[in-house]
Amino acid sequence: MTRIIGIGSALLDVLARVPEGFVATLPGGKGGMVLVEAPEMAALVARLPQDATLVPGGSAANTVLGLAQLGLSGRMLAKVGADERGGLYRSNALAAGVDEVAFKVNPTVPTGTCISLVTPDSQRTMRTSLGAAATMAASEISVADFAGCQHAHIEGYMLFNRELVLHILQTAKAAGCTVSLDLASYEVVQASADILADLLEQWVDVVFANEDEAAAFVGSKDETEALDRLAELCSVAVVKLGKRGAMIRRGDERAQVGPRSIPAVDTTGAGDLWATGFLYGMFTGRSLADCGEFGALVADEVVQVMGAAIPADRWQVLRAKFTA
């Protein structure tokens, strides 16, 4: 089967339910992701409720681990610390069937952490301290990391390091991989506005955006305009609309995913797992409409749990649906 390599930040997710007022006290907007330094992260962790939970995460990792659960072999290119959390992260990937040959290790900097604050409306607001993930260097990444892979899925957060992401894109293509990019957050799109269109046009085959990221990209809330602009740059473009479904375009072909009615407990990982279902459909030869429906079905499952870990019995249900 197709081997897909995910490239992104190896992070341990700290998941906490908080009131609206908690998020209002933080710098930066609700619903996005802001990078913070270690002291600010420590102060924020100290304020969290005692029932906060710790699970392995990271956008690209969520997508690739999901693909492994569906039977597509995966690999992760990410950097962890030589600490207990780094060991937990790697062992979790191995247990899910993702190989670790492309993992990098920093012996002195701890594994990164992402706090996901879930408000009563089920929206998540993230604050991230990258730790070892921020020390990934272009010199560590070679074509050998991509050996045996046909597709590279890159999380948009990598765009915060422009030199590194360009090297990753060039190396993935040199290894013969097609490339998908999840734009990750509207902050990412805004911060990379001067280079993003060129990167998409030159290097990216499949682009995933949600409605906020799409709006930031085109400077308009016209979602069809955003989809069409992204489709001019990439072979396949997806604009996810949350509960309203999704719009997809490949050349002149269009598909629509209908509204969703699943009540959300936590939206952490919903976009990542939507990409899981879509890519699974794409690499098993399904129609564009089926790819979108697969994405929606996987996202429907993850929003019903805290965090991005779908229970094993629900993966079994999804596998049965997708292979019927």
In this structure, which topology does domain 4-10+57-111+131-323 adopt according to CATH? UDP-N-acetylmuramoyl-L-alanine:D-glutamate ligase (3.40.1190)
Task: Find the angle CA(154)-CA(75)-CA(299) to the nearest 5 degrees.
Answer: 60
Instruction: Point out which residues pair with 184 in neighbouring strands.
Output: none
What is the rounded CA–CA span in Å between residue 296 and residue 271?
A: 9
Residue 234 has pLDDT above 70, yes or no: yes
pLDDT of residue 198: 98
Instruction: Dump pLDDT digits (tens) for 57-107.
Output: 889 999 999 999 999 989 999 999 999 989 989 998 998 889 889 999 999
Strands of 2-141 (E only): list them. Answer: 4-7, 11-17, 33-35, 53-57, 74-77, 79-81, 98-99, 104-106, 111-118, 124-131
In tens, the pLDDT along 240-260 reads 999 999 999 999 999 999 999
Answer with the residue of higher pLDDT: 53 or 321.
321
pLDDT of residue 202: 98
pLDDT band at 268 (very low <50, low <70, confident <90, very high): confident
The mean per-residue pLDDT over the stretch 168-185 comes to: 97
Residue 2 reports pLDDT greater than 70 = no
Provide the pLDDT confidence category of residue 303 given band limits of 50, 70 and 90. Answer: very high
Beta bridge partners of 75: 5, 99
Residue 301 has pLDDT above 80, yes or no: yes
**pLDDT at position 277:** 98
> Domain limits of the chain?
4-10+57-111+131-323
Q: Judging by DSSP bridges, how do beta strands 74-77 and 4-7 pair with one another? A: parallel
Query: pLDDT band for position 37 (50/70/90)?
Result: confident
Q: What is the pLDDT of residue 15?
A: 87
Angle subtended by helix axes 270-283 and 312-323, to nearest 10: 30
